[in-house]
Structure 1
Amino acid sequence: MEQRNINFIHTTVGILIVIGIVVLVNILAQRFFVRVDLTEDQVYSLSKASKEIMRNLDDKVLIKAYFSKDLPPPYNANERFIRDQLDEYRAYSNGNLQYEFINPDENEENKQEAQQLGISPVQINVLEKDRMESKVVYMGLVISYEDKREVMPFIQRLDGFEYDMTSAIQRITSDAKPKVAFLQGHDEPDMLSNEALRVEMEKSYNVQNLTLEGSDLIPDDVDALVIIAPQTPLSEWEQYAVDQYIMKGGKVAFLLDPIKADLQSGMATALPLEMDDWLATYGIKVNADLVFDASNQPVSVQQQQRGFIMRTQMPFPFIPVVRNFNDNHVMVKDIEAVVFPFLSTIDTTLAPEKGLNIEVLATTSELCGTQTGRFDINPMNRIPRQSYVDQYLPVGAVISGKFHSYFADKGAPTPEVDEDNPQPTTDLPVNEVIPESQSENRLVVFGDGEFTQNATGTVLLMNMIDWMTQGEGLISIRSKGVTDRPLKEVDDATKPLIKYANFFGMPLVVIILGILYWQVRRRRKREI
């Protein structure tokens, strides 16, 4: 009896201790915000940039999330995820961010409020009771700050939620957006004609196409200039305008295609861009070559087989898929793969000769080569394996330091007079050349401009513009969760081994374990 009482006391004390620990943990959890995120990219935790923006809020930010209840898969976890994220935003905002969730389906007033704020219902397909039915739901939110408002009308994907949220808060709490200009007039691609890209850029920047006519200079309020794949030379005056923009601290990205390639004809020729001497002043040289790489994107080609025209996918080494990005540079460290059609290499020896720093951003794979002079890009003409003699060739870089003007000793060229606009667009005297950059500056160069036209290159382009205009904060968020994990390439002899190992391996393991278990049981029975 006495032993039973002792056991009862021990059990009671143990239960009370457990209850006390649970209560203490809950009290500490209310006072201190702690969260453990075990994902590789920390996709469920706020980045340093988001936390910093939250800490710097100087007034109240109110978020109203309009979400329907009982959302079907795959949207049923969205509300929980967004609540968790908003909890983190609120925790780091020093009380300056508040949020509430509203169910528009509860009453007509909530529906009208959501729609007046720009959140419209969306129709989704739902599988209920073995039948496909349509359901109208709300999944959006509104961010308010002073008299400004940002709307996220339909939150469908969660992998870019932090970037969208943080950049939206930054936009409405900032006084002005940076201005980004895309140089035109030399058959460059019109980036603003890409509706999706234009809308995305306009969320964070004032974007414009810039054509230098007559005696135009680059306006002083342009924060970054992007030169993408000009097909004809820049005039001497245009070179001067870009030169002086750099000397005044302007950031420029040179995304150049020295080789014009036509996949249909299988031919490629060097473009007479006449930029080499000018760009060499800034430590830039894009080689007149074409990279072929074992890591590439296949193309669809027509082949005649048994009297029929068939379209088949073939490896095409002249469209490299670059996966080697500089892990130490914020612009590219989280990017996993970008397709670069008809890529050229970068000469990295010129910048040090000019007293400038160069940091390589991207390189080819360990199995590649280049063509120069005469180019053969016909997909049907296979490149022999023994021609892949190069590895890790640089194709993108950042050059930084104090730059010297190409026109320091030459003097300013005579402007191309435009009768409608005879004066420069800035107050810089035409005959006064700034001989060197007034402070440390930085330029970006890639041996390709066509990558900006495909989906894989959009993140790189946006990161580039962020880095040139807004610092490095948002870049780390944009690439969060963007992954590309291809299987490792193996030779043809290994593929059947892997196939049959997967097919027969697990059943064989189960059989072996069963035999071992049976043998153990037999031995135990004998011992008994």
Structure 2
Amino acid sequence: MNNWFNGFLKNRRETSIQLLLVGGIAITVNVLASELLLRFDLTENNRYTLSPASVEIAESLDDPVTVTAYFSQDLPPQLSQAQSEFRNFLEEFRAYSDGNMEYRFVNPGESDQAEREAQQAGIRPLSIQVRERDQVSQQRAYLGAVFQYGDKREVIPVIQPGTALEYSIASTIKQLTIEQKPKIGLLQGHGEPSRQEMNEVTNQLSQMYELVEVSGLDTTAVPPDIEVLMVVAPEQQLSQQELLHIDQYLMAGGRAVFAINRVRANPQRGMATPLNTGIERLLASYNVPVNADLVRDVNAANIQVQQQQGGFQIVNQVQYPYIPLVNNFGDHPVSEGLETAMFQFVSSVDVSQADSSQSLTPLVLSSEQTGVAQGQFNLNPMQEWNQQIFPQAHIPLGVAVEGTFHSAFVDVDTIEVELASSRQTSLVVFGDGDFVINGRGQQQQQRLPQDNINLMVNAVDWLADDTGLIELRTQGVTSRPLANLADSTKTVLKYLNTFLPIALVVGYGVYRYQRRKIRRRKWIESGV
């Protein structure tokens, strides 16, 4: 009896120790799990893993950032997925922020007070279609967020499914925490588009930069605190003094984007004429001239053309080679991740003149079936577009250049140049100035393809040496349509899907039957 009691106490003591060990391990694992974030991202571009730039932004937070996300409940699957992805990204930012980022989710539909709070915060309701019991009804939904950092506040009114959510979060945090925005100069005074006329690009840039209009270069130099000078679609001739000031800004190490039109197109008259503003003189001296031609491409956008047929005005959709749809991009941070951009009456960039002191990378190239019009420009959209006028391939439409450059005025006797050559600097040159313009004057403001905006903003980011968020801006969901198959192929695949599994099962059964038959014969022959 005494031995049994001692054994009982011993087993009980061992059980208690085991329970304490298991409990301690469980507590330790939970503490570590709250501090460590472990996820497996199997997407092609690691879409659900924070980039080093985002990690740096999260780790650099010194004061708390509070995120209030307003999401309606019982959303359709696509919208519900956006909410889940947004929550996951917030959790990852919180894990890297050392406690300096917190978030909460609010359902505006739970009460009138919550809905008023969302609307007062700047969150816009969406009207979505909901199918219930074979009936379609309209429902108001909220998908937005408010970021608070000290007394600063930024709002994402609508979180669109399939967009680059990591970029939205990272750029919003950076916008809140940046102390002084770098200055980006917009050249004005020569017919260039205003900020309002390219509002999508300027709105994107104004999140990270202070946009400053640069004019009056006849009497004053380009301000030295301008990080990047944007020269977009000038229409009038610049004076020699203005060109000199731009040249000397670059020679002093300044950086610039040149998006210029070398041909003035008039589609209504079906004509075009060369355009000279003086900028082409600068680019030629920097070994990246833009040619006075127009590139036509088989891969092009459709336009509406009115035709007279039997006394009626008929509007037809016609593919127009002078508006190329470009999906061939170079291997460079500016063009990384882009899918399709649209250009209008674009000219080619000559890449053959760059010297050994310069590194040139084509950013945008035409398709494999391309042609160039020079001298005589026939813009009639109803002309015959035969294959003979598309003999070329991969014509550069935009380039990035790094290195040193020689002043365009070093050989001009009447001008004393302070800086004859530049220090190490960078330029981006596009043969089209209209690809970032939403509209001029009384023309309707049109929405641009998203990659048109991304291309220009990426160029400014790269020149301003702010490349961290470039790769995130284009990290949305890539369109991957299913391949179109011939009817005969579809028929073969259909019968394979139907009969192949049955044939495999029957074949395996026959194989098993033959094996058992052979084994039985061996048993009989061995006398077992």
Aligned equivalents of 1:116, 1:340: Cα separation in 2: 40
Q: 1:347 to 1:65 in 2, by over 3 A?
A: same
Aligned equivalents of 2:289, 2:266: Cα separation in 1: 23
Query: CA RMSD, aligned part only?
Result: 3.3
Match for 2:166: what amino acid? E
1:509 aligns with 2:496: yes
The alignment partner of 1:320 has SS state of strand
Q: Which runs of 5+ in 2 are unaligned?
A: 1-18, 438-447, 518-528
Aligned equivalents of 1:169, 1:443: Cα separation in 2: 29
Shift of 1:290: 1.7
1:441 aligns with 2:425: yes
User: Match for residue 455 of structure 2?
Assistant: 460
User: Match for residue 471 of structure 2?
Assistant: 476
Q: TM-score, normalised by structure 1?
A: 0.81
Tell whether the 8 Å contact from 1:335 to 1:482 is kept in structure 2 after alignment. Answer: no
Q: Which runs of 5+ in 1 are unaligned?
A: 1-15, 414-430, 489-494
Tell whether the 8 Å contact from 1:283 to 1:356 is kept in structure 2 after alignment. Answer: no
User: Match for residue 174 of structure 1?
Assistant: 178
Match for 1:143: what amino acid? F
Shift of 1:218: 1.8
User: Match for residue 254 of structure 1?
Assistant: 258
1:127 aligns with 2:114: no
User: Match for residue 287 of structure 1?
Assistant: 291
Q: TM-score, normalised by structure 2?
A: 0.81
Aligned equivalents of 2:373, 2:161: Cα separation in 1: 42
Equivalent of residue 369 in structure 2, options 361, 367, 370: 367
Match for 1:509: what amino acid? L
State the percentage of identical aligned residues.
37
Q: 1:296 to 1:109 in 2, by over 3 A?
A: closer
Question: For 1:382-437, what per-residue CA distance to the aligned partner results, in whole angstroms no more than 9, with x for missing partners?
Answer: 23313432222222111222223223454786xxxxxxxxxxxxxxxxx7723333
Q: 1:119 to 1:522 in 2, by over 3 A?
A: closer
Tell whether the 8 Å contact from 1:352 to 1:358 is kept in structure 2 after alignment. Answer: no
Shift of 1:275: 4.0
Aligned equivalents of 1:486, 1:274: Cα separation in 2: 45
Tell whether the 8 Å contact from 1:247 to 1:403 is kept in structure 2 after alignment. Answer: yes
Q: 1:34 to 1:517 in 2, by over 3 A?
A: closer
Q: Within 5 Å, which residues of 2 pair with 1:366-405?
A: 366-405=368-407
Q: Within 5 Å, which residues of 2 pair with 1:403-414?
A: 403-410=405-412
Q: 1:192 to 1:217 in 2, by over 3 A?
A: farther
The alignment partner of 2:436 has SS state of helix
Shift of 1:122: 4.9
Aligned equivalents of 1:64, 1:147: Cα separation in 2: 15
Shift of 1:523: 7.0
Q: Within 5 Å, which residues of 2 pair with 1:111-122?
A: 111=115, 113-119=117-123, 121-122=125-126
Shift of 1:195: 4.1
Q: 1:440 to 1:412 in 2, by over 3 A?
A: farther
Match for 1:442: what amino acid? S
User: Match for residue 3 of structure 1?
Assistant: none
Task: Give the stretch that moved more between structures: 207-216 or 393-402.
Answer: 207-216
Aligned positions, number: 482
Shift of 1:251: 1.4
User: Match for residue 422 of structure 1?
Assistant: none
Aligned equivalents of 1:484, 1:231: Cα separation in 2: 37
Equivalent of residue 49 in structure 2, options 45, 51, 58: 45
Tell whether the 8 Å contact from 2:283 to 2:290 is kept in structure 1 after alignment. Answer: no
Shift of 1:333: 1.6
Q: 1:435 to 1:44 in 2, by over 3 A?
A: same
Task: Give the stretch that moved more between structures: 387-396 or 338-347.
Answer: 387-396
The alignment partner of 2:345 has SS state of coil
Equivalent of residue 450 in structure 1, options 394, 418, 434: 434
1:162 aligns with 2:166: yes
User: Match for residue 329 of structure 2?
Assistant: 325
Question: For 1:119-142, what per-residue CA distance to the aligned partner results, in whole angstroms no more than 9, with x for missing partners?
Answer: 455554433444444444443222
Shift of 1:503: 5.0
The alignment partner of 1:452 has SS state of coil
Shift of 1:457: 1.0
Task: Give the stretch that moved more between structures: 159-168 or 30-39.
Answer: 30-39
Larger Rg: 2
Tell whether the 8 Å contact from 2:410 to 2:417 is kept in structure 1 after alignment. Answer: no
User: Match for residue 274 of structure 2?
Assistant: 270
Shift of 1:62: 1.9
Aligned equivalents of 2:131, 2:112: Cα separation in 1: 26
Question: For 1:254-281, what per-residue CA distance to the aligned partner results, in whole angstroms no more than 9, with x for missing partners?
Answer: 1121112222332222123344443222
Question: For 1:21-47, what per-residue CA distance to the aligned partner results, in whole angstroms no more than 9, with x for missing partners?
Answer: x96987764453221112223222222
Match for 1:404: what amino acid? H
Aligned equivalents of 1:501, 1:26: Cα separation in 2: 57
Shift of 1:370: 1.4
Aligned equivalents of 1:237, 1:91: Cα separation in 2: 55
Shift of 1:105: 4.2
Equivalent of residue 150 in structure 2, options 131, 137, 146: 146
Task: Give the stretch that moved more between structures: 27-36 or 53-62.
Answer: 27-36
Aligned equivalents of 1:138, 1:274: Cα separation in 2: 51
The alignment partner of 1:352 has SS state of coil
Task: Give the stretch that moved more between structures: 220-229 or 459-468.
Answer: 220-229
Match for 1:500: what amino acid? D
Q: 1:508 to 1:194 in 2, by over 3 A?
A: same
Tell whether the 8 Å contact from 1:332 to 1:463 is kept in structure 2 after alignment. Answer: yes
Shift of 1:312: 2.8
Match for 1:446: what amino acid? F
